[in-house]
Chain A
């Protein structure tokens, strides 16, 4: 079944008691069904014109959750899906001969989305006058998301740099609080390398624990944030996703950074003599 998305609802009215089995069928979005209190099996009338003239009668065969579109965030997807002949019959100008209609755009779902590029090349090579492209490339949405992605990278980079400075300052303060202990250890005869190694191990453990805590917090918040915004915008769009790759990246950045901050802070301390440190 080739399905077209009708962007606007032409008109809808429930005809609950009509004999419906031989009527053409449509699918309606969950949002539209909720707003108009429609249910599977209901019949509705759709018209091309806003005044409802020349309506067609259809039976609702199903209610579907539309594919979330971040480009239309905040707009309730009040849509229906019709079979192509029904759409043509509904929208054709009576003066237009059958077969002379024009279709601007068709969305095609492939079994394997990874074939999209190959499929588009195939279509473009075979059919003159048809231009196929990936849905994500259509309407400039990809460029929009590239800009957004770069913006996110910029925010992430600034956040990491600021967090590193903060972490280093915090670590220097924490290490400085232990200067007397470090001084005593140096006086007893612990080599600087040995203390540095201990501090490094401590730094790695604390950073790993911190990263783990951060991940658990993010995972806990992931569900809450998604639920809130999905409720707020009435969409199935996923706003936050902590994927294994994201988690691994976080740990890969946090642990070396935490350990390095601890070692840098400790190194500054260990360059001083044990006596000066112990005397405070």
Chain B
């Protein structure tokens, strides 16, 4: 973990996310402010339903706050149209989900290649980059396998490789070890450490204390707010 926070990548100011439900409005995130610096490693913890994942989705520009503002690299995300927000996600943000979300009809290498192809990377370059990334996550030998032929840990590692495909500045991981056994989870956690050490800011939402303890900054949420913050 050599990288140190320097410039701000994401800044959320007084962000609130409210969902309209039949029984009345539910506040997943309430008046929350947060800054993620370049190269930072942040873990978000808290009980189920406290708004961790919602906050992560807002930081990753896949969800929009009901009020408050979010800036990414100084750009007000609310002012960006869907197309620009999609391209921001494609080029600057990598996502890793608990359920992997790999495309089942593509091989591991093709899954890694896809975001690069969409970002306009030439075929030889993206083939080389996909090979490198699969080697990076220790799956070079499984490049031609489809997700159904991979174990849970392998699928998550492919998902991490895919998330890193366009060299994002920010990697967001939502319960990345949630569906993995302890040993495999350790392996994935070590991989996230390495990603962060190589300069990518990482924000991980997790129930796993062991994984959270690897982060330099741990935020504990309660009722949509940051209840406690500890820094290593």
Contacts and interface: CB of A to CB of B under 8 A. Distances in A.
Q: Which of B62, B86, B90, B114 has the most CB atoms of chain A within a 10 A radius of its CB?
A: B86
Contact of B87 (A184, A185, A191, A273): A191
A267 to B, nearest CB: 13
A44 B40 CA distance: 110
B83 to A, nearest CB: 5
Report, as a range, how many residues of chain B touch the other chain: 20 to 34
Provide the main secondary structure of the chain A interface: helix
Contact of A188 (B83, B88, B115): B115
B10 interface: no
Interface string B82-93: 110011111101
B103 A191 contact: no
A273 B62 contact: yes
Q: Which of A181, A189, A191, A275 has the most CB atoms of chain B within a 10 A radius of its CB?
A: A189
Given A181-B103, A275-B57, A278-B101, A191 B86 contact: yes
Interface of B: 57, 62-63, 82-83, 86-91, 93, 95, 97, 101-103, 105, 114-115, 118, 162
Interface residues of A, number: 18
14 contacts: A181-B105, A184-B101, A184-B103, A186-B86, A188-B89, A188-B114, A188-B162, A189-B90, A190-B86, A190-B118, A191-B83, A191-B87, A273-B62, A275-B57
Provide the main secondary structure of the chain B interface: helix
Contacts of A180: 101
A189 B102 CA distance: 14
A96 to B, nearest CB: 89
A193 interface: yes
Contacts of A187: 62, 89, 95, 97, 101
Interface in A245-280: 273-275, 278
Interface string A183-202: 11111111111100000000
Given A184-B101, A184-B103, A275-B57, A189 B115 contact: yes
Given A181-B105, A190-B118, A191-B83, 12 more contacts: A184-B103, A187-B62, A188-B89, A188-B115, A189-B86, A189-B88, A190-B86, A192-B83, A194-B118, A273-B62, A273-B63, A275-B57
